């Protein structure tokens, strides 16, 4: 069953969908799926489009409660992207799903994986993190400050141009996420790093660098022949479900 609600996060109104299953209920466990930052023209409206379907599938197969929210400027959510605003949004979602002392895990895709690492590093309520195609080095991933600023505009994750940070401020705000530092703070909590071997947007070496930064205390899963878009890859889904099943 998929329930829909809206959450207030500062000046943004976020769409949140929560899936549960009566088939194999695992009491007290909740997984939050975190979408990435779109980089193509107009993709801001669609960046999280596949996640509700994925949430329903994972909930039915695992018995976990699975939540997915669209962050500021994405899908039907209002507001404008910045890394710090998305961190605030994710914290708001965590506050909502933590009700009843649930045990929370995060699974993030692309930049959403980097964001999930940063959120977990700052929040002990998060018991585990899985990333898929997450960039470890945001300087290389984002390009220049001008490149990032233009990409955000083109993707359409800007609700109001007046809210969009200037190029340098937006860039420095993004770099404050620092996935390599964040991932080191997560063990001994559980950690899964997944990546496609043929990813041309984020090289697979970034996955190895994240595992190294965690001093090897992470599961590394390289998906042969897979590119950057892993959300609909059945091998990714199987990897995620196996990880959840081992931590029931």
Q: What is the pLDDT of residues 100-113, one digit of tens each?
A: 778 899 999 999 99
Q: What is the pLDDT of residues 122-174, one digit of tens each?
A: 999 999 999 999 999 999 999 999 999 999 998 888 888 899 999 999 999 99
Is the domain defined by 2-246 classed in CATH 1.10.274.10? Answer: no
- What is the model's pLDDT at position 41? 55
Predicted TM-score (pTM) of this structure: 0.94
| Annotated domain spans of the chain | 2-246
Comparison of pLDDT for 65 and 247, the residue scoring more: 65
Q: Is the pLDDT at 88 greater than 90, yes or no?
A: yes
Report the pLDDT value the prediction gives residue 1, as an integer from 0 to 100.
Answer: 64
Q: What DSSP letter does each residue of the chain carry, written as one string?
A: -EEEEEEEETTEEEEEEEE--SSS--TTEEEEEE-----STTGGGTTTTTHHHHHHHHHHHH--EEEEEEPTTSTT--SB--HHHHHHHHHHHHHHHTTTTPEEEEEEETHHHHHHHHHHHH-TTEEEEEEES--S-HHHHH-SHHHHHHHHHHHT-BS-GGGSPPHHHHHHHHHTT-HHHHHHTSTTSEEEEEEETT-SSS-THHHHHHHHHTTT-SEEEEETT--S--TT-HHHHHHHHHHHHHT-
Most confident of 48-62, 192-206, 234-248: 192-206
């Amino acid at each position: 069953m998929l329930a829909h609600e809206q959450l207030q996060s500062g000046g943004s109104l976020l769409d949140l969908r929560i899936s549960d299953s009566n088939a194999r209920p695992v009491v007290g466990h909740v997984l939050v799926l975190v979408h990435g930052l779109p980089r193509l023209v107009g993709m801001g409206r669609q960046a999280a489009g596949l996640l509700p379907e994925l949430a329903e599938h994972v909930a039915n197969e695992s018995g976990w409660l699975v939540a997915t929210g669209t962050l500021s400027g994405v899908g039907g959510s209002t507001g404008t992207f910045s890394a710090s605003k998305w961190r605030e949004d994710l914290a708001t979602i965590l506050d909502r799903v933590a009700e009843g002392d649930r045990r929370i895990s995060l699974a993030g895709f692309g930049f959403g994986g980097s964001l999930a690492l940063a959120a977990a590093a700052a929040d002990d309520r998060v018991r585990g993190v899985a990333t898929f195609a997450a960039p470890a080095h945001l300087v290389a991933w984002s390009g220049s400050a001008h490149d990032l600023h233009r990409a955000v505009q083109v993707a359409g994750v800007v609700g109001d141009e007046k809210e969009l940070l200037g190029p340098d401020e937006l860039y420095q705000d993004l770099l404050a996420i620092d996935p390599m530092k964040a991932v080191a703070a997560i063990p001994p909590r559980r950690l899964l790093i997944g990546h496609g071997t043929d990813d041309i947007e984020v090289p697979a070496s970034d996955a190895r660098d994240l595992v190294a930064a965690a001093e090897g205390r992470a599961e590394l899963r390289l998906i042969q022949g897979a590119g950057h878009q892993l959300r609909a890859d059945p091998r990714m889904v199987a990897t995620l479900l196996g990880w959840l099943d081992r931590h029931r």
